[in-house]
Every structure is written in C-alpha cells, then in structure tokens.
Structure 1
C-alpha cells in the first residue's frame, strides 16, 4: 500500500489536522525518520528546522542522510530501515540529479511499495510525481543549473504538484495552461497545506486546489 505525504512547506502551528494525520500514519510510539536534503546542509540549518517540526509531533528519532558532499554509500543503506523517509525542499533539478547519480530512485520506489512512508516538502513532493517539469514552470521556477535532461521522477502518483501557491486565480489560470499542454492534473498547494495518500485515498488538507486539463475545482478544508 502506498503511503505518501506531499507538503508545500514545513510551517509550524499551521494545520493541526494535517499534523495529527501525519502522526497517525505511524504504527509505533517512537518511529524513525530518515532525512534526505536536496543538497548538503553542512550546518544542519534546514535539518534542524525539520527535526523540530517532527519533535512537536512527538517523533524524536530523525537521522540525516546526505546524498551530496557527505555521501557514504555504506551508511546510506540504513535509511531504508526507517519508518519514513523525508525528502527536503530545495532546487528540484539538483535534487533529482543527485538521486540519479546515486541510483536511489528505484530504491525509493521499492521502499514505498514495501510499506515505507515517503514524506516530501516542496521539491521533495514534486519528486513523488511522474516528472519534475513543473519545477521549471512559472515566475518562481527553479533554475536547471545542472543541465538535467532526464526529468522523470518517482512516478508514485499520476498527478503533478505545485507548491507555494499564492492563492491567486491568475496562478491557477497559468497552471491550467500547463495542464492543457502536458495532459496532467496538478494540485496547487499553499504553504501550510498538503496531501496525504493512504492506499487509494487522496486526502487534502489546507488550501489545495485541483487544476485538471479536463475539469477543475477547489478542495478546501
């Protein structure tokens, strides 16, 4: 059974229902989470922010696993023993490039198919979808500074994900054009919101709007 959490950002005290739902996904009192940064975080600035977020959910075991400058293949393998894997935000193109470089994509797919929980934030959420093309779309697009050509991501869901939605109709209209060209539905998500995939169910929390090339409509909670 596929269990995924797609977040726009980690915002403290933003959505109690979403926080409680994330905590409920774990069947142990003290689960472990393996944190994968989009690029090396030598001062652990972003890792610390994430650790504090999970701490407030009552989860204390958060382990840092680097695929970039501090990568150690012999140690990285233990991440798949964690109850959940957290993919951080950052530059989506760079993140996908290091996942490709370390041959981790198939391992992550197998982890999810075997019952592991995958939690993404921003870029990490985009990586759960079929392609990261949307990361290069719009005014606030990520720069493809690594010259990435293969945009195929994990493909764990059929839709695409647009984080940091500003709540404006103009942005949704732009995404409608994107969906018409790419024939893929897109969920636009404001910070503080998210999507929980639990088996066949798709649960929306916060201000999340479905933009479909066939039809569209708002889903707010």
Structure 2
C-alpha cells in the first residue's frame, strides 16, 4: 500500500507531488474512492476533486460518508479502489474523523 499525506493540491508548489501521486495511482489502475470528513450533501467538495483528478486521467467515482455507511458491500467497493482520498476540513464534526476511519 502507498500512503501519501499532503494538502493544498491547488497550489502551484505542489504540482510535482500531484504528478508523482498520479503516476503512483496510474501504476495500479485509475480509480479513486473518496471519504468525506464531514457533511457534503451537494457533493461540492467531491465534485471539485473529481475535476482535479480527471486532469491526471484518474477517476474519482466513489463517495463514502462514514456516518451513513450502508454495509460491507460499500466498504469492499472502497477498498477495491486503487487509491483512497481522505478529505480534509471538518475532521472533528459531526464525529471525529479518525475515530470513524478506525471503524472500517
């Protein structure tokens, strides 16, 4: 498993890291799952990341809300992705994001 921890994908200084991350994911496939750290009912943040990853030939097509997991099938679909994007933002509400991740 590859783990890349960084933020601010939108700033020019991170473009080399963006390209490296995209190359690592593309070496495995091109599908990325997204775990929301907080409410995103309109999926505005998810949609933004879809557009971002599409520039690199990557497909962000699975949205996971930890507070509304529908069971093992959804978890299995998440772990079948070639990469998982953990969103930032509201990582302490409505429940603590890291605690919710531990339940996976």
TM-score range, shorter chain: 0.7 to 0.9
Name the counterpart of 1:107: none
Correspondence 1:108-187 to 2 at 5 A: none
Aligned pair 1:53/2:55, yes or no? no
Larger gyration radius, structure 1 or structure 2: 1
Deviations 1:40-81 (A, max 9, x none): 31110111111111111121343211111x321132321111
Aligned residues: 99
In the superposition, the TM-score normalised over structure 1's length comes to: 0.40
Name the counterpart of 2:18: 19
Aligned pair 1:39/2:38, yes or no? yes
Shift in alpha-carbon separation, 1:61–1:47, aligned structure 2, 3 A: closer
**Shift in Å, 1:85:** 0.8
Name the counterpart of 1:7: 6
RMSD, matched Cα:
2.0
Bigger share in helix: 2
Runs of at least 5 residues in structure 2 that lack an aligned partner in the other structure = none
| Distance in 1, Cα, partners of 2:12 & 2:50 | 15
1:64 is paired with a residue of what secondary structure?
Answer: strand
| Distance in 1, Cα, partners of 2:99 & 2:38 | 10
Name the counterpart of 2:99: 97
Name the counterpart of 1:197: none
Name the counterpart of 2:69: 71
Aligned pair 1:81/2:80, yes or no? yes
| Distance in 2, Cα, partners of 1:25 & 1:91 | 27
Shift in alpha-carbon separation, 1:82–1:22, aligned structure 2, 3 A: same
Shift in alpha-carbon separation, 1:61–1:48, aligned structure 2, 3 A: closer
Contact 2:46 2:63 in 1 (8 A): yes
Bigger share in strand: 1
Shift in alpha-carbon separation, 1:91–1:19, aligned structure 2, 3 A: same
In the superposition, the TM-score normalised over structure 2's length comes to: 0.79
Contact 2:9 2:15 in 1 (8 A): no
Deviations 1:91-139 (A, max 9, x none): 3332123224xx21xxxxxxxxxxxxxxxxxxxxxxxxxxxxxxxxxxx
- Answer 1 or 2: higher relative contact order, Cα 8 Å, separation at least 6: 2
